[in-house]
Amino acid sequence: MKQTAILSIVVALLVLSGCAGSNNSSATLDELFQTRRSIRAYLPDKTISENQVRELLAATQNAPSWANYQPSKYYVAISKEAHDAVCEYVGFNKERVANAPILLVSTYERGKSGYLQGQQTNELSDEWGAHDNGLSDAYLILKARDMGFDTLIMGTRDSDGLRTLFDIPENETVMAVIALGYRAEEPRMPGHKSLDEFARFF
């Protein structure tokens, strides 16, 4: 009986130590909202593994999308060669994200969201694809923060250059490049609009 109790304590300690050493955060959703920032300076010589990126991207599959079409695609620059190549296509952000170990190109497949049985459902048509891609990216950056990473979504990018670099199909729209790494500085909290400036109640 005593040996069983001791064994149980040992197992519990091992589980707790394993949890403490993992990347999984115990932060609440509100805390993730408060600490996530667009980071424009990253620590050098910090790495992120392919398995960590896979875990991160798996979280995006929980994002809602039109008819569950899941139109978002990601092209991951994880090698130094690919990373440096993508840096050449993000304009003035090149120096800002040079130390971010991972760069992801976010795209969405046209003709999916906003359509049913191949027919346009309303006047927005493919704009629903951009909507769904934005939701997917939102899940990505929140999961990244939960794992202890930081991000920057960049709309300044050379879509033609990225399309050629990663052989992105013509039926996909290149939306953004997302830097993934570890913050080198603590950014200030930006000001936000008051609720009454963006919401109306009837």
Q: Map residue 106 onto helix, strand or coil.
A: strand
In order, the DSSP letters of 4-61 are HHHHHHHHHHHHHHHHHTSS-----HHHHHHH--B---B-TT----HHHHHHHHHHHT
What pLDDT is attached to residue 17? 34
What's the pTM? 0.85
Structure tokens of 109? Answer: 């497949």
What pLDDT is attached to residue 25? 61
Local confidence pLDDT in tens for the 202 residues of the chain: 434 333 333 333 333 333 333 455 678 988 998 889 999 999 999 999 999 999 999 999 999 999 999 999 999 999 999 999 999 999 999 999 999 999 999 999 999 999 998 899 999 999 999 999 999 999 999 999 999 999 999 999 999 999 999 999 999 999 999 999 999 999 888 899 999 999 999 9
Q: Which domains does the chain have, with CATH numbers?
A: 26-186 (3.40.109.10)
